[in-house]
Amino acid sequence: MLTLKQSRRLQSVLVGTSSWAIAALIFFPILWMILTSFKTEIDAFATPPQFFFMPTLENYLLINERSDYFSFAWNSLLISSVATLLCMLIAVPAAYSMAFFESRHTKRTLLWMLSTKMLPPVGVLMPIYLICQSLGLLDSRIALIVIYTLINLPIVVWMIYTYFKDIPVDILEAARLDGATTLQEIGRVLLPIARGGLASTMLLSLILCWNEAFWSLNLTSSAAAPLTALVASYSSPEGLFWAKLSAVSTLACAPILIFGWISQKQLVRGLSFGAVK
Amino acid sequence: MTTSTLDTHLKSAPAAAGGKRRSLKPGWFLVSPSVALLLLWMIIPLGMTIYFSLIRYNLLYPGENQFVGLENFEYFLTDAGFMPGALNTLALVGSVLLISVVFGVLIAALLEACEFWGRGIVRVLLISPFFIMPTVSALVWKNLIFHPVSGILAAIWKFFGAQPVDWLAQHPLLSIIFIVSWQWLPFAILILMTAMQSLDQDQKEAARLDGAGPIAIFWHLTLPHLARPIAVVVMIETIFLLSVFAEIFTTTSGGPGFESTNLAYLIYNHALLQFDVGMASAGGLIAVVIANLAAIVLIRMIGKNLTNQ
């Protein structure tokens, strides 16, 4: 017969082992990609797959010669961050008035906004493509920034709305009685309180922009192409170059992956969409 | 339930306003930029799509833009790819949702069951696929995992003396479901884990003292608590799953035949590979209609969970 303490310990060991096993299984493709990127092409294609090998940097050097990684990365960074900021700028006022000056239409407006996300991008690909063409915006960062802002807007509004909903109205009323204007009320009182929620909204928006691969593949070719396009350019099936492909993939994902790891606590805490009550 | 919350708001709103007209005014003024932008984003392309869908418009034959009525719709609906495309879309969305909700709940419950060594690291590893861009995860799965010669699965099959399977050629849809589930399961785990942390521990302890086993506690206490977060997961994932594109584009190109073509990919195929803008627009509209049907059903089913605070 196990004592209570022993059975708790046993439970912890069992839960720990199975959690680690599942995590290892789910993480494996990423680990394998990173490992493969340090192999020679021959090692990368070897059967059975090699777990121990002489690491080499040749793939990374070759990629840097063949294409300008930093120009792609700069496009990704610029497009994602500007689109995210723009989106926040439009969404915060909307969420503010929806959360604190609720009317009969608020809920319907929110659901309608979400429903615009149900519209599959392919449904409007041709018009957007032709509009961009006639405005000379094909292969431009501006087009992607505008599109990313719009496609993330519903989710961002909704997330911020749920955070604002958690803030007691009394605090804002108090500020208002002290003579604060609407702008002061938002800037001095509301934003500092909702800082955590806003940060995780921005994180999510950044991740979604960084990884967006429909519009970036269809609307850009070189000048404004972000990292998704760089990866796609290495995916043509000529020859054996798993190692180079892995290296370019690792390069494309590394910034957002590291960023995600650092901020995951914040993201986990914030990603509730009002689901946690 | 919806009406009751609306009622209380209606009652409390005028009281809070108390003669100050300010409480109504900033509302619409501040919401309007978002609404206006989204309306533009919706109406202009949609209007153009409707127009294109009614004319003959092929980029290979410029200048022949006469009105053809519903011909494009007829062609699209009778296209050999339409039925498989629609069914594949449903299969993809349905199975990924099922996988991510079921395994999401189980894995989240496991992680929250008790403290163990390295829980933080496990969490970081588990949510990592969410940060990987779809093109990359598709390529990694295609070349490093599923590949019939050098892939990991081939090596495992060979180790057990079985004939390696060419996953993407023999089971294309299943393989894509696998890839997409791998991408979206972490999101479900993330949200469900957060939700479980907010579960009242005293209630759990009380149930345990009353002699409830872990399974009974999970079934009667944890699961009902998860209704709302599950609704959120289903909602958000459906939005993204309806338009899965990059994963198919980079792995199977919809093939062999139409076995792994979803509607998004089929329309893309008509528009950018066959340059038939008219037919692609008709297909786009049909996809929009299907998506909105799905949205209405979903909102009916889970909308209450989403908006009732």
Residue scoring higher pLDDT (A183 or B237):
B237
pLDDT for residue B25 = 55
Residue B127 has pLDDT above 60, yes or no: yes
pLDDT for residue B104 = 94
Among B37, B139, B194, select the one facing A245 at the smallest CB separation.
B139
pLDDT for residue A1 = 58
- In this structure, which amino acid lies at residue A161? Y
Interchain pair B115, A12: CB under 8 A: yes
pLDDT for residue B175 = 92
Give the containing element (helix H, strand E) for B148: none
Residue B266 has pLDDT above 50, yes or no: yes
Confidence grade of residue A74 (pLDDT, cut at 50, 70, 90) = very high
Among B48, B115, B268, select the one facing A122 at the smallest CB separation.
B268
Among B6, B186, B299, select the one facing A104 at the smallest CB separation.
B6
Confidence grade of residue B249 (pLDDT, cut at 50, 70, 90) = confident
Provide the percentage of residues in chain B whose pLDDT is more than 90: 14
Residue B16 has pLDDT above 60, yes or no: no
How big is chain B by its Cα radius of gyration, in Å?
25
Interchain pair A22, B107: CB under 8 A: yes
pLDDT for residue A273 = 64
Residues of chain B contacting A36 with CB distance shorter than 8 Å: 144
Interchain pair A267, B190: CB under 8 A: yes
Using CA atoms, how far residue A257 sits from A249, A254, A270, B148, B266, in Å, is: 11, 5, 18, 29, 32
A248-277 residues touching B, CB cutoff 8 A: 249, 252-253, 256-257, 259-261, 264, 267-269, 271-277
Query: How many Cβ atoms are within 10 Å of A168's Cβ, its own excluded?
Result: 9
Interchain pair B280, A126: CB under 8 A: yes
B4, B59, B143: best to mutate for the A interface, most A CBs within 10 A: B143
Residue scoring higher pLDDT (B212 or A202):
A202
Using CA atoms, how far residue B273 sits from B85, B159, B267, in Å, is: 17, 41, 10
Q: Give chain A's mean pLDDT.
A: 84
Residue B19 has pLDDT above 60, yes or no: no
Return the minimum-mean-pLDDT range out of A62-66, A119-123, B121-125. A119-123
B133, B247, B277, B298: best to mutate for the A interface, most A CBs within 10 A: B133
Interchain pair B30, A155: CB under 8 A: no
Helix axes B119-127, B82-113, angle to 10 degrees: 170
Residue B240 has pLDDT above 50, yes or no: yes
Residue B196 has pLDDT above 80, yes or no: yes
Residue B40 has pLDDT above 60, yes or no: yes
Return the minimum-mean-pLDDT range out of A246-255, B4-13, B65-74. B4-13
Confidence grade of residue B26 (pLDDT, cut at 50, 70, 90) = low
Confidence grade of residue A106 (pLDDT, cut at 50, 70, 90) = confident
Residue B307 has pLDDT above 80, yes or no: no
Q: Which residue has the tokens 């990991």?
A: B152
Residues contacting B114, CB < 8 A, separation 6+: A8, A11, A12, A15
How big is chain A by its Cα radius of gyration, in Å?
24
Residues of chain B contacting A231 with CB distance shorter than 8 Å: 133, 135-136, 139
Q: Which residue has the tokens 């395994």?
A: B103
Q: Give chain B's mean pLDDT.
A: 80
Residue B282 has pLDDT above 90, yes or no: no
Q: How far is CA B28 from the centre of its chain?
A: 31
Q: Which of B285, B239, B270 is nearest to B47 (CA)?
A: B285
Return the minimum-mean-pLDDT range out of A9-18, A178-187, A234-243. A234-243
Residues contacting B206, CB < 8 A, separation 6+: none
Provide the percentage of residues in chain A whose pLDDT is more than 70: 94
- In angstroms, the separation between the Cα of residue A34 and the nearest Cα of chain B is 10
pLDDT for residue B235 = 82
Return the minimum-mean-pLDDT range out of A69-73, A261-265, B99-103, B137-141. A261-265
Interchain pair B190, A22: CB under 8 A: no
- Mean pLDDT for the stretch of residues B192-199: 82
Q: What is the pLDDT of residues A164-182, one digit of tens each?
A: 888 888 888 888 888 877 7
> Which span out of A23-32, A194-203, B149-158 was modeled with the highest average pLDDT?
A23-32
Q: What is the pLDDT of residues A50-66, one digit of tens each?
A: 777 888 888 888 888 88
Give the residue on B whose Cα is nearest the Cα of A95: B31
pLDDT for residue A2 = 65
- Mean pLDDT for the stretch of residues B130-139: 90
pLDDT for residue B309 = 44
Confidence grade of residue A124 (pLDDT, cut at 50, 70, 90) = confident
Residue A239 has pLDDT above 70, yes or no: no
Give the residue on A whose Cα is nearest the Cα of B129: A27
A179: left (phi over 0), alpha (psi -120 to 50) or beta: left
Give the residue on B whose Cα is nearest the Cα of A14: B116
Residue B24 has pLDDT above 60, yes or no: no
- Mean pLDDT for the stretch of residues B296-301: 73
Residues of chain A contacting B116 with CB distance shorter than 8 Å: 12-13, 15-16, 19
Decide if B126 contacts B107 (C-beta within 8 A).
Answer: yes
How far is residue B253's CA from residue A264's CA, in Å, rounded to a whole number? 34
Residues contacting B135, CB < 8 A, separation 6+: A213, A217, A228, A231, A232, A235, B246, B250
Interchain pair B195, A275: CB under 8 A: yes
Residue ranges and CATH numbers for the domains of chain A are 68-226+255-270 (1.10.3720.10)
Look up residue A133 and give its two tokens: 């063409």
Q: Give me the torsion for CA of A90, A95, A100, A106, rounded to 10°.
A: 110
Decide if A34 contacts A250 (C-beta within 8 A).
Answer: yes
Q: CB distance from A12 to chain B under 8 Å?
A: yes
Q: What is the pLDDT of residues B174-193, one digit of tens each?
A: 999 999 999 999 999 988 88
Query: How many Cβ atoms are within 10 Å of B129's Cβ, its own excluded?
Result: 21
Residue ranges and CATH numbers for the domains of chain B are 81-307 (1.10.3720.10)
Q: What is the pLDDT of residues A2-53, one digit of tens each?
A: 677 888 888 888 888 999 999 999 999 999 999 988 988 777 777 777 777 8
Residues of chain B contacting A123 with CB distance shorter than 8 Å: 45-46, 49, 267, 284-285, 287-288, 291
What percentage of chain B's residues is helix, strand, coil (to nearest 5)?
75, 0, 25
pTM: 0.84
Decide if A190 contacts A172 (C-beta within 8 A).
Answer: yes
Confidence grade of residue B308 (pLDDT, cut at 50, 70, 90) = low
> Which span out of A11-20, B39-48, B208-217 was modeled with the highest average pLDDT?
A11-20
Confidence grade of residue A238 (pLDDT, cut at 50, 70, 90) = low
Give the residue on B whose Cα is nearest the Cα of A35: B144
DSSP SS3 for B276: strand
Cα within 13 Å of Cα(B193), Cβ side: 30
Q: Which of A96, A270, A102 is nearest to A172 (CA)?
A: A96
Interchain pair B125, A97: CB under 8 A: no
Residue A81 has pLDDT above 90, yes or no: yes
Interchain pair A271, B194: CB under 8 A: yes
Residues of chain B contacting A276 with CB distance shorter than 8 Å: 194-195, 198, 228-229
- Mean pLDDT for the stretch of residues A267-271: 70
A204 CB burial (10 A radius; 0-12, 13-18, 19+): buried
Q: What is the pLDDT of residues B75-92, one digit of tens each?
A: 888 888 888 888 998 899
Interchain pair A207, B130: CB under 8 A: yes
Residue scoring higher pLDDT (B183 or B49):
B183
Confidence grade of residue B67 (pLDDT, cut at 50, 70, 90) = confident
Q: What are phi and psi of A46, to 5 degrees?
A: -65, 145
Q: How far is CA B210 from the centre of its chain?
A: 40
Interchain pair B114, A8: CB under 8 A: yes
- In angstroms, the separation between the Cα of residue A122 and the nearest Cα of chain B is 6
Look up residue A268 and give its two tokens: 């986990």
Residue A188 has pLDDT above 80, yes or no: yes
Residues of chain B contacting A148 with CB distance shorter than 8 Å: none
